[in-house]
Amino acid sequence: MTEENILERLKRRVAVPRGSRIIVGIGDDCAIFRPRGGREDLLFTTDLLIEGVHFERATHAPAVVGRKALVRGLSDIAAMGGDPLFCLLSLGLPEWAGRGWVERFYNGLLKCAKEAGVILAGGDLARTDRVMCDIVVAGSVPKGRALRRDGAKPGEAIYISGRLGGSALGLATKRGRAWQRHRRPEARLALGRYLREKLKATAAMDLSDGLSLDLRRLCLASNVSAEIEAPPTFPGATLEQALHGGEDYELLFTVRPGTRVPARFQNLQLSRIGVIRRGSAGRVVLNGRPLAPLGYDHFRGS
């Protein structure tokens, strides 16, 4: 049982009826809902952040946890080129997380929310064994304009933002800029809007589970394959970390042939790493050899 086959089975079971206001359901970074009579589509994403799975109490201060919970959701909004609007937070708290911890957790979350222009509009609370956050973030895009995973076409160029593997390196070494990167990721909101408005990206998603797995997902959704070369690596990170490491929260996107993509957007490197091809859906080839999707899957092996 892997995440992928749970999701595949679910997608087959959940029929979205014709004429539904759900424009995109299970399987993209966000669900897309079209309000009646409006000019915008609404985006919705949920992301878990669990002690012992996504972070450790010993190494993540409460404000870091609060911030990261929200950034994970914001990154999905960024991936679709959206503007974040509001969030809801379900929070499970163990006994050791007293008033001070909770206060600092919300400090981190609310500071990040303020910077992103997001209002905390609700949620739920419960007593749990470990800290458990589930963030819901809602965003908007002009009607029909969301960047989706399923728009990539053969011949289009594949790009990523930033340099990969920093979060995996940080998790391994717990030192330096890579550790900072792991603990304080950024949601590429301005870049997402730029991809939608200016570059007219044809597909996009955020890199949360590793390039090898996430690019495969984009290719599966678009029914295409991909040929890539090695992506730029975070200083000190190995190629393995850059290819398979999770939680970089950079954006992966495709553009039509001939699109002029600048080398940088607001100080963030944009790198062409390959091209979309016809052929076996989901297949990713690195320097001529198949790349196994070894990115992070919560359920692999069970």
Among the residue ranges 13-21, 158-166, 196-204, 234-242, the one whose residues contact a copy of itself (CB under 8 A): 13-21
Question: CB under 8 Å to 70, separation ≥6 — which residues?
Answer: 87, 109, 112, 113, 116, 118, 135, 137
Per CB under 8 A, 1 contacts a copy of itself: yes
- Give the residue from 194, 198, 216, 196 showing the smallest Cα distance to 207: 216
Per CB under 8 A, 77 contacts a copy of itself: no
Question: CB under 8 Å to 260, separation ≥6 — which residues?
Answer: none
Per CB under 8 A, 56 contacts a copy of itself: no
Q: Which is nearer to a copy of itself, 19 or 288 (CB)?
A: 19
Residue identified by tokens 């007593």 is: 127
Per CB under 8 A, 61 contacts a copy of itself: no
Beta strand 40-50 with 225-228 is: unpaired
Among the residue ranges 114-122, 186-194, 219-227, 279-287, the one whose residues contact a copy of itself (CB under 8 A): 114-122
| Coil vs helix vs strand at 44 | strand
Per CB under 8 A, 111 contacts a copy of itself: no
* H-state helical runs in the chain: 3-13, 62-79, 99-116, 166-173, 176-183, 189-197, 211-222, 239-244
Q: What would the DSSP string read from start to end of 237-257? A: --HHHHHH------EEEEE-T
Per CB under 8 A, 14 contacts a copy of itself: yes
CA angle 194, 198, 201 (to 5 degrees): 80
Per CB under 8 A, 289 contacts a copy of itself: no
Per CB under 8 A, 229 contacts a copy of itself: no
Among the residue ranges 18-26, 55-63, 216-224, 269-277, the one whose residues contact a copy of itself (CB under 8 A): 18-26
Q: Which is nearer to a copy of itself, 140 or 233 (CB)?
A: 140
Phi first, then psi, for residue 165 (nearest 5°) are 95, -5
Enumerate residues 86-105 that contact a copy of itself by CB under 8 A.
86, 88-90, 92-93, 95, 98-99, 102-103
Q: Which of 37, 58, 263, 267 is in the footprint of a copy of itself by CB under 8 A? A: 37
Residues for the chain: how many in total? 302
Give the distance, in angstroms, between the CA of residue 41 and the centroid of all CA atoms in the same chain: 19
Enumerate residues 116-175 that contact a copy of itself by CB under 8 A.
119-130, 132, 134, 136, 138, 140
Q: How far is the CB of 5 from a copy of itself (least distance, A)?
A: 9
Give the distance, in angstroms, between the CA of residue 134 and the centroid of all CA atoms in the same chain: 15
Q: Which of 8, 33, 261, 294 is in the footprint of a copy of itself by CB under 8 A? A: 33
**Contact residues: a copy of itself, CB under 8 A:** 1, 3, 6-7, 9-10, 13-14, 16-17, 20-22, 25-28, 30-31, 33, 35-40, 42, 44-48, 50, 52-54, 85-86, 88-90, 92-93, 95, 98-99, 102-103, 106, 110, 119-130, 132, 134, 136, 138, 140, 298-299, 302
